[in-house]
């Protein structure tokens, strides 16, 4: 039988995160530092809103662009937060859905996309599937935004600069100075910036500045999955200024032929979620961050994360690679992700500390023992 698969299927690998997540099912009570999924549950009032929506018949399609009440509420929030006069908003099936729609609407074969490395795993593979070229700019060793390298990477083929702050996998938060500098670079060359801010509430040492405050050609991507533990509900949104209205209209058109709409009852629940105060969970995760950093810093090279719920830790010198160390960690019942899943390098491993304090303490003890070889 001839090969029936499209060529694009060879441009992506199976998710390394999902491979480790699947492995967790075969281990007995592992320390699971692998998956970026909050360990708290959806707030009760949001669950009640979802149930109420289902029971009262909100189970059909919504408009492709989204539920009008939810759209209006997000629009008002975007106006207040960024001072945009007439923003465009589209409700998406998670931030992952928003990313796919954006890349489909933007990337032509040969277009270049500037991506700080380390990066969220989907960026690379989606750009490759669209026939684009990833231009990685190195953020090692401190994971600060490499403004100079971004400026040098820009050329006539550059279609997009991607920012992710607070960042997955590093937990880094961009400084206001660096954000303003990237905005200036993009403005000078009239380049679109995509700002992935899915972890925006998880910021532990001050606020997380957004390039949307400084540059009007920012495609803002946010979601509900991490902030409200709604990972399985697939709820996100994109927003942009009047200058990006055509782009968001095209993304909406593509959504008609792909996702159709975000899940209707969960859109109703998201209206309620926007009223929820999640500060107690953010404070809890700040303590978890401190546990991980203080517990590992004497044995590993680690940059203290400022946001999200990840730490990107350098593998010990005895390891041939981070993947080598991860294999030994998994053999000792600790699930972590090799850094090569998120990077062109294989020197670090990612910890997700979205788990219980007890499991964090157990995992730290095992990792520190492994650090000695």
Whole-number Å distance between alpha carbons of 292 and 178: 27
Q: What is the per-residue pLDDT for 24? A: 63
Contact 31/366 with Cβ under 8 angstroms? yes
pTM for this structure?
Answer: 0.94
Q: What is the per-residue pLDDT for 110? A: 96
Q: What is the per-residue pLDDT for 207? A: 87
Whole-number Å distance between alpha carbons of 328 and 373: 10
Contact 135/113 with Cβ under 8 angstroms? yes
Q: What is the per-residue pLDDT for 18? A: 58
Least confident of 34-38, 74-78, 172-176, 296-300: 34-38
pLDDT over threshold 70, residue 15: no
Q: What is the per-residue pLDDT for 183? A: 98
Give Cβ neighbours of residue 299 (< 8 Å, ≥ 6 apart): 316, 367, 368, 371, 372
Instruction: Say what percent of the chain tops pLDDT 70.
Output: 97
Contact 308/350 with Cβ under 8 angstroms? no
Contact 330/257 with Cβ under 8 angstroms? no
Q: What is the per-residue pLDDT for 123? A: 97
Contact 186/217 with Cβ under 8 angstroms? yes
pLDDT classification of 90: cutoffs 50, 70, 90 = very high
pLDDT tens, position by position, 242-288: 999 999 999 999 999 999 999 999 999 999 999 999 999 999 999 99
Q: What is the per-residue pLDDT for 323? A: 93
Q: What is the per-residue pLDDT for 12? A: 80
Q: What is the per-residue pLDDT for 13? A: 75
* Cross-strand bridge partners of residue 112: 133, 158
Give the Å distances, CA to CA, from 183 to 106, 156, 192, 214, 337: 19, 17, 10, 6, 32
Mean pLDDT of 367-373: 92
pLDDT classification of 16: cutoffs 50, 70, 90 = low
Instruction: Say what percent of the chain tops pLDDT 90.
Output: 90
Q: What is the per-residue pLDDT for 126? A: 96
pLDDT tens, position by position, 323-350: 999 999 999 999 999 999 999 999 999 9
Map out the domains of the chain with their CATH numbers.
7-42+278-371 (3.90.1150.10), 59-273 (3.40.640.10)
pLDDT tens, position by position, 109-156: 999 999 999 999 999 999 999 999 999 999 999 999 999 999 999 999
Q: 15: closest CA among 32, 36, 1, 30?
A: 36
Q: 95: closest CA among 220, 240, 11?
A: 220
Average pLDDT along the chain: 95
SS3 90: strand
Contact 171/352 with Cβ under 8 angstroms? no
pLDDT over threshold 90, residue 6: no
pLDDT classification of 1: cutoffs 50, 70, 90 = low
């Amino acid at each position: 039988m001839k090969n029936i698969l499209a060529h694009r299927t060879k441009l992506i690998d199976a998710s390394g995160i999902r491979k480790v997540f699947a492995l967790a099912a075969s281990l007995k009570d592992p320390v699971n530092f692998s998956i970026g999924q909050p360990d708290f549950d959806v707030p009760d009032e949001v669950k009640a809103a979802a149930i109420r929506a289902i029971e009262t018949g909100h189970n059909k399609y919504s408009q492709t662009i989204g539920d009008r009440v939810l759209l209006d509420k997000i629009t008002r929030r975007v106006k207040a937060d960024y001072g945009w006069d007439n923003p465009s908003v589209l409700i998406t099936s998670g931030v992952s859905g928003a990313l796919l729609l954006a890349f489909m609407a933007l990337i032509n074969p040969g277009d270049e996309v500037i991506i700080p490395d380390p990066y969220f795993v989907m960026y690379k593979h989606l750009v490759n599937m669209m026939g684009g070229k990833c231009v990685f700019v190195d953020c090692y060793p401190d994971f600060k935004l490499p403004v100079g390298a971004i400026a040098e990477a820009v050329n006539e083929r550059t279609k997009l600069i991607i920012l992710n702050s607070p960042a997955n996998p590093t937990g880094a938060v961009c400084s206001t100075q660096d954000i303003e500098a990237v905005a200036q670079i993009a403005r000078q060359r009239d380049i679109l910036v995509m700002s992935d801010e899915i972890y925006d509430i998880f910021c532990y040492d001050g606020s997380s500045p957004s390039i949307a405050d400084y540059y009007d050609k920012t495609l803002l991507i946010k979601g509900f999955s991490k902030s409200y533990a709604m990972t399985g509900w697939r709820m996100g949104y994109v927003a942009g200024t009047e200058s990006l209205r055509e782009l968001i209209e095209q993304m909406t058109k593509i959504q008609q032929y792909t996702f159709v709409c975000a899940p209707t009852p969960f859109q109703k629940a998201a209206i309620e979620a926007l009223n929820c105060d999640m500060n107690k969970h953010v404070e809890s995760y700040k303590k978890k961050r401190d546990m991980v950093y203080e517990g590992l810093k004497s044995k590993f090279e680690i940059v203290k994360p400022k946001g999200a719920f990840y730490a990107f830790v350098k593998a010990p010198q005895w390891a041939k690679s981070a993947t080598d160390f991860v294999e030994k960690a998994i053999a000792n019942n600790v699930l972590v992700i090799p850094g090569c899943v998120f990077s062109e390098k294989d020197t670090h491993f990612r910890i997700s500390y979205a788990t219980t304090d007890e499991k964090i303490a157990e995992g730290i003890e095992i990792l520190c023992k492994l650090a000695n070889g």
